Amino acid sequence: MFTKDSLIGVVGSGAMGSGIAQVAATAGHKIIVYDTNAAALERARTSLSASLHKLIEKEKLTREKADTILRLISFTGSIQDFKPCKLIIEAIIENIDVKQSVFKELENNVEDTCVLASNTSSLSITSIASACRIPGRVLGIHFFNPATLMLLVEIIPGIATDPVIANHCRALINTFGKVTVMAKDTPGFIVNRVARPFYSEALRIYDEQIADPATIDWAMREFGGFKMGPFELMDLIGHDVNYIVTETVWKQFYYDPRFKPSLSQKRLLEAGFLGKKTGRGFYDYSDGVSLPEPNKEETLGKYILNRILCMLINEACDTCYLGIASAEDIDLAMTKGVNYPKGLLKWADEIGLAHVQLTLKELYDEYEEDRYRASVKLKQMVKKGKLFY
């Protein structure tokens, strides 16, 4: 279906759209980046040149290769230029109404054989496709930010997506040097579903005044081997992004308490304290301000890690139980998509599934909240004495 000569379109010239364009052009494809904002297109062009120049300076790219990439990418303010495209990847605002409108417009400007993909991180592919005349050619191709560095790409067929098209797209993205996983069209797909407790349970521990952000971050790095703690990562991602994904997943799962957002994070969003990009989030990033010191009490640190880790494992178990993805793809997604130190289901085998179940039972007995219910998959495997690997 796709060849090296296949023209690829990208809707949106922001960081994600530009990153996807750079990745595809590096793989040798001609790319058209479309945006209605002329100033944004110019910024994207400048940013791309600067990005490639840095790679040349670091000797990760030759000047000849950089020049080739630049020649392969063109920028346009006219959607009609998408006419010869074989694949178009949309990378714009996470708003279902806006995306449906864009996909309708795309259909009026491309051939019926052109595949239409959304880079959405949490919205329903089936819902986006429902706005289209030919929903079978619509799917999700979810890159992670920054697209040029992150290896993982989630391939998400909607209910109406032609499986042949999904497989061809997966094969194409593999040629970009990416690691692909196939996920069922459910809220958050794999990564943004399974990763929710990393943030939400950390926030719960903070809200209950068990530990402050610095201590929770230290515990996850020190005892879990995570490169960043949850509060550091939320501040880096931005609360305008992280909170909205959490809220979206929560709403789409019919307000399941496992995905309930935190008022503490919502207040930061309302105040405009979005994290590093605004100079303040859970931490103050102002010049001259030192980050707070954690409480390095080992028992507390190990309690924090165990509580968050068991919640993460439980979500991974449920994701496997519901057939959203295979155990192998879940672990691959979490290590390649969000840089977890090891796959959660492999980790579960190591610390013991019975231990995970017991931790959840203790939390459930203490709080009497459905938030802490153990996955049926977890309970079944403990009962049968099985492991994931």
Rounded distance, CA 21 to CA 73, Å?
A: 7
* 102-159 confidence digits (pLDDT tens): 999 999 999 999 999 999 998 999 999 999 999 999 999 999 989 999 999 999 999 9
pTM: 0.93
| Spans in the chain with pLDDT lower than 50 | none
Which of 273-310 are b and which e, b meaning 16 or more Cβ less than 10 Å from the residue's Cβ?
bbbeebebbbbeeeeeeeeeebeeeeebbebbbbbbbb
| pLDDT of amino acid 1 | 84
110 has which bridge partners? none
Which residues participate in catalysis according to the annotation? Answer: 121, 142, 154, 192
| pLDDT of amino acid 170 | 98
| pLDDT of amino acid 341 | 97
| pLDDT of amino acid 87 | 98
| pLDDT of amino acid 122 | 84
Report residue 326: phi and psi, to 5°: -75, 160
What structural domains does the chain harbor? 8-182 (3.40.50.720), 193-384 (1.10.1040.50)
Displacement of CA 382 from its chain's centroid (Å): 30
DSSP symbols for 127-168? HHHTTSS-GGGEEEEEE-SSTTT--EEEEEE-TT--HHHHHH
| pLDDT of amino acid 340 | 97
